Amino acid sequence: MANIIPVTDFDAPQLDVYARLTENQLLNRAEPEKGIFIAESPLVIGRALDAGCVPLSFLTDQEHLQAQAAELIARCPDVPVYTAPFAVLTRLTGFALTRGTLCAMRRPRQPSAARICSLSRRIAVLENVMNPTNVGAIFRSAAALSMDAVLLAPDCSNPLYRRAIRVSMGTVFQIPWAFWDGEEDWFTAGPSLLRRLGFTTAAMALREDSVSIGDPRLKTAEKLAVILGSEGEGLRSATIDACDYTVRIPMACGVDSLNVAAASAVAFWELTKQP
């Protein structure tokens, strides 16, 4: 039987995860094994459950108890379900709960970067991509366009921030990913270490010596790491210099580049096609 708990006290500590804790507090760097993330919408929550994520509680408006949230709640009969009218939850969370249901979940342990690299032929590598919206969009494109995994440099936004999860449509639970955790620092040796692991490295950047995204050498590489940089400044010069190829997407109409999320979709589509 579902454990339904009406919301009557806005200050109840059980609701802190939804209304008062910041993303960094949820992340809990001091005790990462106690970290929490918030999944939003039945689709995203379902994908997180399918991936083995452990739910701690639900927050849903009363209308969804017997509708969209019903199947999820049935899968987790012992998990507390906090509920109230839509207007009350909007006051509590500070935004309209348009997707009806939130779920607080324990952050799963991620595989090591080395493990991901050993099992992958095509990986996306993100450096200094700080906008959670772009991180989420890149994950969605990576999952949809047959990339095997995503590797993030330490300065990237966390894929389990609420906005990144929402924009990814839950694909952060479907494609393997990890933050760089090698013995050597990414910023001094990242591309070189990827090469040692068997990857051809392709930096997405605008340079005079860049090759077109359609270059056949990229498609025929046995293992390929597509490295994408920040929304504004792009990749660091040191990273570009250390890569095997600098790669550009041909532009028209005087446009010099695409947003990093849009560029990732074009690159993944082109580079995962069969030669």
- Average pLDDT over the chain, rounded to an integer: 88
Highest mean pLDDT among 5-9, 263-267, 269-273: 263-267
**Is the pLDDT assigned to residue 166 strictly greater than 60?**
yes
Question: pLDDT class for 139, splitting at 50, 70, 90?
Answer: very high
C-alpha to C-alpha distance for 255 and 170, rounded to whole angstroms? 32
Tokens 């348009």 found at: 98
**In sequence order, what E strands does 110-199 have?**
122-126, 149-152, 177-179
> pLDDT at residue 65 above 80?
no
Of 147-156, 181-190, 195-204, the one with minimum mean pLDDT is: 181-190
Query: How far is the C-alpha of 95 from the C-alpha of 221, rounded, in Å?
Result: 47
Lowest mean per-residue pLDDT among 77-91, 93-107, 108-122: 93-107
Give the whole-angstrom CA distance, residue 267 versus residue 70. Answer: 39
- State what percent of residues in the chain have pLDDT above 70: 93
Band (118; pLDDT cuts 50, 70, 90): very high
The pLDDT assigned to 267 comes to 93
Is the model's pLDDT at 95 over the cut of 60?
Answer: no
The mean per-residue pLDDT over the stretch 61-71 comes to: 77
Closest by Cα among 195, 168, 190, 188 to 179:
190
Specify the pairing of strand 80-84 against strand 3-6: parallel
- The token duo for 18 is 């939804």
Contact 146/268 with Cβ under 8 angstroms? yes
Element holding 92 (H helix, E strand): helix 86-93
Helix axes 132-144, 260-271, angle to 10 degrees: 10
| 192 torsion bin: left (phi>0), alpha (psi -120 to 50), beta (else) | alpha
User: How many residues does the structure list for the chain?
Assistant: 275
How many Å apart are CA 143 and CA 135, to the nearest integer?
12
In degrees, to the nearest 5, what angle opens at C-alpha 5 toward C-alphas 50 and 46?
10
> What pLDDT is recorded for position 92?
65
Segment 172-198 shows an average pLDDT of: 89
pLDDT at 186: 87
pTM of the model: 0.91
Residue 1: the pLDDT is 60
Q: What is the mean pLDDT of residues 144-157?
A: 95
How remote is the C-alpha of 263 from its chain's centroid? 16
Please check whether residue 70 is in contact with residue 101, taking contact to mean a CB–CB distance below 8 angstroms.
Answer: no
| pLDDT score recorded for residue 243 | 95
205-218: average pLDDT: 89
Beta-carbon contacts of 68 under 8 Å, excluding residues fewer than 6 positions away, are: 42, 100, 101
Mean pLDDT along residues 23-32: 87
Q: Choose from 12-26, 131-145, 202-216, 242-256 the range with maximum mean pLDDT.
A: 131-145
Query: Residue with structure tokens 């997405």?
Result: 204
Per-residue pLDDT for 197 more than 80? yes
Q: What is the structure's pLDDT at 275?
A: 57
Ranges of beta strands (E only) in 44-156 are 55-61, 80-84, 101-106, 122-126, 149-152
